[in-house]
Every structure is written in C-alpha cells, then in structure tokens.
Structure 1
Amino acid sequence: MTHTLPTPLPDDPDYFQILIESRITTASTVHLSFTANRMALDSPDILDITWLTGGGANHDDWTKPVVHVVNSETGHTPANGGASIDFQTTYDVTLDQLPKHTVKNKDYRVLKIPFLDPSDAAQSLAGSGHLTITLDAPAVMQINSTKVGYSFALPSPAPQGAGSTYRWDFVELNCATPASNGKSVCFCNTTNVDFFSLGIAIKGRTADDTYSTFGLDLSGSTPVADLINDLKNLPPDYAAGYMEQSGAVLRFLAPDMAFTDKADDLDTAIDAGFTHYETHALTFEVGAVSYSAKTVNDALEFSSPSAFTINKPTTLEVIASTGPLDVAGQSVEIQNAQKYIAAALNRGVFTETGDWDKPSRWYPGNVQSNQYSQTLHQHFIDGVCYGFSFDDVPGAPVTSAPAIGTCTSMSLVITDQ
C-alpha cells in the first residue's frame, strides 16, 4: 500500500523543520508546544529545561523561533540570574500562526525547532522532548518540581489527570544529536503505550538522505474513527479505555491505564507459560548473552547468565511492566530478561521462544495476548507502533517500534477523523 505523505523540507543547519499538514475538522484551533529536558549523552541527569517560543520582541515571529534554557535546579535563566521562569504561563503556538508553505496549490505550515549545540555531543541532547498537539485549548505544559529541581513532563491523560479534559497527542523529539557525518539531527518517534487520540503520520529524512515513514495508516477516509471503533469492540476490560466528553471522542486509554488490578485477560496465558517452564527450560539470547531458567514455586529461577529470580506477574503487571517486570534499579542482565519476558507475554508467544523475533507469529489467535496492542498494529503503517512499553524488543532489525534515529527534517500529518 502506498502512503502519500508530503516530502519534508530541505535540511536547515540551524533548525529542525517540521512541515505540517492538518486534516483536523472538529477543532477551530490547533495548538502546539515544544518542551524538553536538556541532558548529556552520557548521563541521565537533567542539566536544564527548555521550551520554544517565537522570536522577535513580542515572541510572535515564528519564522525564527527560539529555545529558552532554564536551570533545572533553581528555575532561573542563566542570562538574568535571579529571574525565574513563569511556570504558570503556557508557551504554545496555534497552527495558523506558523509560516505558510505552499506546494502544488496546497498549504502547509512550518514549525522550526532550533538545534542545540550539535558540535558538543555532551550537551546536545534535548531529552524527553515533546511536541504536544492540543485541540481548541492551549497546549498543556506540565512542570514537575522535586527536591532535585524542575523537569518537563507530559500531562496525564487519565481521568482527573492534568489535561484529561482536552483532546491532545504528541510526538517525541530529542534534538539534536550530531550524526556520524556531522549533520544536526533529531531522534523522533510516536508512542501509544498510554493512549491513542489523534491520527499522526510522519515522513522523515534521515542523515543518509533516505526516508522513513511511520504512524497511523491514513489511506482510509476515517482512520481514527475506524481504529477507535475496533478498540471499543474489544473485551470489556479493554473497552473501558474509551473516553469521551459531551459525546465527542477524547482518547482511548491503553490497558496500562484502563485495567484494574483485578483484570485477568492474560491470566490463563501467564499461568500456562509458567507451568510450561516447570518441565521445559526457558532458554533465549540477548545479543551474546545466553539465558536459562526453570519455574520453581511460581517464579522463574535463572541459572544463566547469573542467579536471579523473576516472580510470576499478574495481567496488569505484564501490560504495564510493573511488579516483577519493573526494570527500575535492576542490572542490565535482569532488565533484558524482564523486557523479553514482558514482550513475549504481551504478544502471546511466551512458550514459543523461537517466535520471539518473528513478528508474523505474534498475537496468535489461540493464546491470550495484549489485544489493544494487536489492534493498533493492524491499523498502523507496516504494522509498526508502540503498543506497550517494550514493543521495541528485540530491537533492530526485528522491531515493531516506530522511530527515526537520525532525522534531519520531517513532515507531520495530523487528523481527528
């Protein structure tokens, strides 16, 4: 199937350019904001927080937008020392404020994100960068304030969460890591691990001048409605993720947010899998590292590459990668085991290790699996999307996760239909 998305603009050495085509019909205004936590490539520490505004005296000139940098510990701008960021202000732009670009009598808009210093690899990554797209309301910018400082975060889409009453979605953009050939680039991807709301499709030019396309398949007339209708027809625990306001769609929550701890949609497959490995060895490889385990007292006891245990998870813990599948604080060896097991259970192939790297075998009809993720993959270009946390396992070249590691310019199509 041919996916006709506009060709990205030529690369610009100073700006990451996003050519935007809006197919939004239910909103009078489309708001966008870009925020990020500036980080080093070799450290998880947040150095500064950044956000985008227009240039010019009144910040209304979006032909040359600027990135503001604020010390994450103090909330002060380096330029004027004691002046603090106004955390109550929403910094966004409406689509019609952006410069217009016309191709073959069709109008697009252009959003430019200034590259940070691409000559300094230690300072150039804007971590957790988000382009947030919000309909009929200013784009939500959430500030987390902790003992160690400030950071940007997406608002929670859950009921009662910040931004829960708005229809919004986002693209992840980490700019700019210098590519091996010296070009300024962005890492960009989309994710639906927590929810689906707007149809987003991306065509990106890479540092080697090839193109990569991913996102919702927009070839039909109502791709968003078609996907949401299929999700609403899933079993009750999944269908409970549908959210609307005054009869209009807001979003569809993923099961990691919609399921309760009583959800049992994967229990049979989890129990069968752990029982299977009481009498069969679980063996698999992650790179050059070999793993081996057997089930003992409802837990996988690993003997290789080292001795450790992973307890049997619940349905919600598999879906959300929590409990025994929570990778926080674990060694890389244990994290990799957790990720591969979580991915196999979500995809319904836990007892078939030979199928763990074969996408055509994932989500078999005779084994319980994550039906939210399966449904998304059926509606996305080339079946590629993030349907759960570790949907990028086992990694290139076998991955179902959408991402461009070295994007130099991109086109973005958004739709609510």
Structure 2
Amino acid sequence: MHSRMIGRRSFLASTAALGALAFGGGTTGCAPSSRARSTAATTGGLPLTAVNRTGRYADASIHMYVVGVDPATGAQGHVTADGAFVPCTASDNGPGGFTDYAIPFRDSGEATVVLPKMSGRVYFSIGDRLRLKVVTDGNGRPALQYPAGWVGADPNYRILHDWIEFTHNDAGMFCNTTMVDMFSVPLAIRLAGTRTRTTGTLVDGGRDRIFAAVAARPEFARLVVGDRLRVIAPGHGVEAGLFPADYYDSYIDAVWNEYRRTPLTVRTDAGTYTGTVTGERLSFTGGARTPASIARPSTRDVLFCDGALAAPNDGVTGPVAAILGAAFNRSTLLSEPRQPAADPARYYRVPVTNHYARAMHQASADGAAYGFAFDDVAGHASYIQDEAPTSVTVTLTPF
C-alpha cells in the first residue's frame, strides 16, 4: 500500500476535511476570510491538461473544475484558469444559489490549468455546469458542498459528471481515478516525470461492459441510474434502499465461524499478526504492538470499509483493518487464511462478492481500479505517483 495514497482513506485525511463531500452532509473545512490568491507560479505549479476523447460530446459541452484545499492555510477553494487558488466565500454563490468555477474546454478539445500545491479533485461535467455551493460549516466558516451523484435530491444528480483525486505537494504528485462512490465518465490519467505512467484507461467498450455487468446481477441492478447515466457504489445503494443491507451477512457469518477454529494470518509493514475470533470480536497477537480487536462487521461496514473496519492512522490497527476490508470485498477471506491475498485471479470468485468492484477491474486496461476504499491493498488501485512530476494529462476517453 502506498503511504501517500489519495483514495478514500488518506485523501480525506490529507486534506484535513475537504468539506461536505455529500449533498446534505456536514461541512468540516473552510477558507479563512482572506481572499488572497495563491498562484501556481509561486508554489511550484504542475501543468494539467484535460483532453476530450469521448467521441460523443462536443468540446463546448464539457467543463472542468479544480477544487480542494490549500495546505498552507487549510482554505477550501478553487483554481482559476490562470492557476490561482482562490478561497471560497459565500459571495461566490450566484443568483441561482451556486458557484461558477468552471474552466471551459477550448475548440482544440483541451482545457489547461497549472496546479498549485494542494489536495483536491478535478471534476468534469458534460452537458451542464455543476451546482457547487458554498455553505457555512458549524464554526460559521464557508465550505464547499460537492456533488453527490448517489443522492437523488442532489442538484447534480441528473448531470453527467465524474472526477479524479490528487495531492500535489513538495514530495510530488499523487493521483487516482475513483469509483469508490460512483462511476459515470471514463477517465484516464497520464503522469510524466521521472517516468511516464498511466492508469484509468478502459478496454474498448469498457463503459458499456461495466453497466452490463452490474445490471446482470439482480442485487446490483438497481445501482444503475437512468439510461446509463451512472452506476452508484453498493454502499450508497444500501443507504438509498437500492441494495440489500444484509447482502454480505452470510459471508461474514462464515468468516467468523471459520476463524473461531482456524488462525488467520495478516501481514503488514508493522509486523505479522495471528487473529482468532472470540465471542463477536476478531483479536490478534504478534508484533511489537497489538492491533485493536475487530468487531463483527455489517454489510455496510464491508462496502464502505468503515464502522468495524475503519482504519485509524495508527500504523497497526489501520493496516489490519484495511487488509480485512479488501479481503471481504474481494471475498478471499474464507479461501485465503494468509492475508493480504495478492493474486487478482483469485478475487471475486464466489457469488457473494463486490460485483460492482469486479466490473470496474474487468473493464480496466491495466486491471487497476478504485472500486472500494481499500482497493489499494496489494496494489490494485488506479493510482499513480511521481516524486518529480513535469505534467499530468486527464483524458475523457471514448464512451
């Protein structure tokens, strides 16, 4: 696992709370009152180019948004086309109640910006502009409320959109595509620097394959929104009443019964631990420090890698919880008593598994995807990094 992974776990931690990531959710981060512009030129900016290769949508119909947190101040805000980071303020909301942070695509099929040092997201919307709103958090400070395509009441629900996540800092550029919450627009990242790497590219017809694979599973079919507008992740499906809240329960019961009588070995960078179930908890021995015991998780805990499987940034319990979360989602925990299981050919092979994540990986040209929050375990996430980056390109690939 990467120590600087920008997925659901440390992306949120590294930004010190990015604000309301879900429509209607609480906001926890914000800009100070100053509107000082932090320019890319003075903070070691990184050229970012977005390219329209959809083959379906005109350049003028696509908009790019770069939003996130200035690490120097903790301010939330957006990046302008000239590479300036501007903290958000309530006055950014226009007459309709939303901001207009869009960077348009030119007739050449590209949009460009120079990224300052920050953590954030690059959003793309097609056919309409995103409804990003500046709201007030519990401390009376402004904060951004981001789209939540898995919530029917969200003002962006009917807008075709998607995003990548990144952290650009003195250590380099760390970025990933993500399907942790939803999948809609096929995006690929090319990062140049000490070497050139790409991730996120789908196989030919990959988007259609994803929708077809999810729709083919009865429990998952209701996760498809509209006429292939997007697929929402099953955890959000549980919250929306679109996915069985007990889906993993039989598998969880079988795992708990198995490791009452058989030891489970979990290897992490901090040491190797042996786990056994006593009562309702999976407890571990071994290593210089002992991980906290893990309570029996629920289906929701598995799908969100949260609750009983939450991974604290303690170097001990966190890595163990992450490995268990990945093993549950990939359904390798019964068949592989030594974790993490590294061979992707052995993932998703039983009926009760995360078929949403399976569809993402099977449609990916390099086999990598971020189908759930701990998909970086054993290195299978659509994540790339470079310690001396020179440019990054995000391509909206063919539908």
Q: Same fold (TM over 0.5)?
A: yes
Q: Distance in 1 between matches of 2:61 and 2:67?
A: 20
User: In angstroms, what is the RMSD of aligned CA positions?
Assistant: 2.6
Aligned to 1:89: 99
Per-residue CA deviations over 1:83-110 (Å, capped at 9, x if unaligned) read: x65573211022136xx4xxxxxxx424
Give 1:7-156 correspondences, 5 Å limit. Answer: 14-26=45-57, 29-40=61-72, 47-54=74-81, 65-70=82-87, 75=89, 85-86=92-93, 88-96=98-106, 100=108, 108-115=109-116, 124=117, 126-127=118-119, 129-148=120-139, 149-156=141-148
List gaps (5 residues or longer) in structure 1: 1-11, 41-45, 55-64, 77-83, 101-107, 116-123, 180-184
**Who is 2:231 aligned against?**
252
Q: In structure 1, what is the Cα distance between the partners aligned to 2:266 and 2:115?
A: 44
Displacement, 1:113?
2.1
Could you say if the C-alpha distance between residues 145 and 287 of structure 1 is closer, same or farther in structure 2, counting changes exceeding 3 Å? Answer: same
CA–CA separation in structure 1 for the residues paired with 2:310 and 2:155: 25
- Say whether 1:290 aligns with 2:272: yes
Residues 241, 401 of structure 1: CA spacing in aligned structure 2 closer, same or farther, 3 A cutoff? Answer: same
Determine the structure 1 residue equivalent to 2:326.
343
Report the equivalent of 2:189.
202
Matched, 1:311 2:295: yes
CA-to-partner distance for each residue in 1:238-269, whole Å, 9 max, x for gaps?
1111101xxx3321001011134843332222
Residue matched to 2:283? 301
Is 1:216 matched up with 2:195? no
Structure-2 change in CA distance of 1:47 and 1:288 (3 Å) = closer
CA contact (8 A) 1:198 1:416 kept: no
Whole-angstrom distance in 2 between the partners of 1:15 and 1:24 = 27
Unpaired stretches in structure 2, ≥5 consecutive residues? 1-40
The structure in which a higher percent of residues are strand is 1
CA distance in structure 1 between the partners assigned to 2:272 and 2:134 by the alignment: 42
Cα deviation, residue 342, structure 1: 0.8
Aligned with 2:179 (options 187, 192, 200): 192
Equivalent residue number for residue 323 of structure 1: 307
Identity rate, percent: 22
Q: Are residues 225 and 360 of structure 1, via their aligned partners in 2, closer, same or farther at CA, if it must alter by over 3 Å? A: closer
- How far has the Cα of 1:233 moved from its partner? 0.8
Cα distance in 2, alignment partners of residues 193 and 224 from structure 1: 16
Following the alignment from structure 1 to structure 2, what is the Cα–Cα distance between the partners of residues 67 and 253?
33
Computing the radius of gyration from Cα coordinates, the structure with the larger value is: 1
Count, aligned residues:
343
Residue type of the alignment partner of 1:399: G
Q: Deviation of residue 26 (structure 1)?
A: 4.8
* Local SS of the residue matching 2:121: strand
Offset of residue 156 of structure 1? 0.8
> Are residues 327 and 354 of structure 1, via their aligned partners in 2, closer, same or farther at CA, if it must alter by over 3 Å?
closer
Shift of residue 364, structure 1, vs aligned partner: 4.7
Distance 1:178 1:24, change over 3 A: same
